[in-house]
Amino acid sequence: MNIQKTNHQLLELYKSKYPNLSKSLTEKNKSLEHSDKATNPLLLKIDEKYANANFKIMFFGQETNTWLGEQNNGEFSGQIEPVYNLYEDFFLSDNCYSYGGQFWNGVSRSVQLVEQELNEKVGVVWNNIIKVGKCGKGAPFASIQEIQFEHFNVFKEEIEILKPDLLVFFSGPNYDSQIKKAFGKIENITVDGFTERQLCEIEIPNLVRAFRTYHPNYLWRNDINKFLQPIVARARRICINV
């Protein structure tokens, strides 16, 4: 995978969507208190670790809060380049893992188990199912989410560009409606030993294999390895084309 070409494709995708997104979010933010205002969107970028990996996973969280807080108090700025570069500073540099949050611990554990199973390094890209969060904590208002899904529903294009072998949604069952808005028609397939809310395989037409389980905050309290083992097993089957 050519790093420069891939990142250029991502950046051009975002630039093509930004004018309408910017117009709608800027207008919406005028009517909201600071903590409820839309922050900047999560824009993806890759490095050599992802590009050179033989097996690639895209991990989805829920939403990002106060993204690019150094500018405009984290409120949506309408700029692309600073937001795009923030991904490298926070994620590609591995600074995210120094925060010690359970989400990042969950990603780290997942990668560790898959690498042990496959006996090779795994490429990782981080995404959020709600790409435009808010300046305060938690999910943004439904009206902000509607703007995202109308003007910045770039998930399928991101996957086409980045070509992950597996998607893992650490978003929990309460975000299934957002997954459906992002990808359209999907089917949740139960996994033996788990309820659909706990863990399911998601069938997304014409896309790669995917799983959805709880946010790692829950998983760490409930034997996280048990929830990850079916995902690890699927990674093995993908590698041997089964």
pLDDT digits (tens, 9 = 90+) for 188-212: 999 999 999 999 999 998 889 999 9
Q: In this predicted structure, what is the pLDDT of residue 242?
A: 52
Backbone angles phi, psi at 36, to 5 degrees: -100, -10
Q: pLDDT averaged over the chain?
A: 96
Whole-angstrom Cα distance, residue 138 to residue 122?
A: 30
Count how many domains the chain has: 1
Q: What percentage of the chain reaches a pLDDT higher than 90?
A: 94
What single-letter amino acid sits at 230?
P
Strands (E) located in the chain: 38-41, 55-63, 122-130, 132-134, 166-169, 187-190, 199-203, 209-213
- pLDDT greater than 60 at residue 220: yes
Q: Mean pLDDT over residues 24-43, rounded?
A: 98
What domain range includes position 126? 3-239
Look up the CATH number of the domain holding residue 159. 3.40.470
Closest CA to 17 of 155, 151, 206, 211: 151
How far are the Cα atoms of 77, 90, 100, 132 from residue 85, in angstroms, in the given order? 14, 9, 22, 16
CA quadruple 77, 81, 83, 86: dihedral, nearest 10 = -150
Neighbouring CB atoms inside 10 A of 94's CB total 11
Q: In this predicted structure, what is the pLDDT of residue 137?
A: 94
- pLDDT greater than 80 at residue 96: yes
How far are the Cα atoms of 113, 147, 162, 206 from residue 57, in angstroms, in the given order? 13, 27, 10, 17
How far are the Cα atoms of 24, 26, 38, 104 from residue 32, in angstroms, in the given order? 13, 11, 9, 30
pTM: 0.96
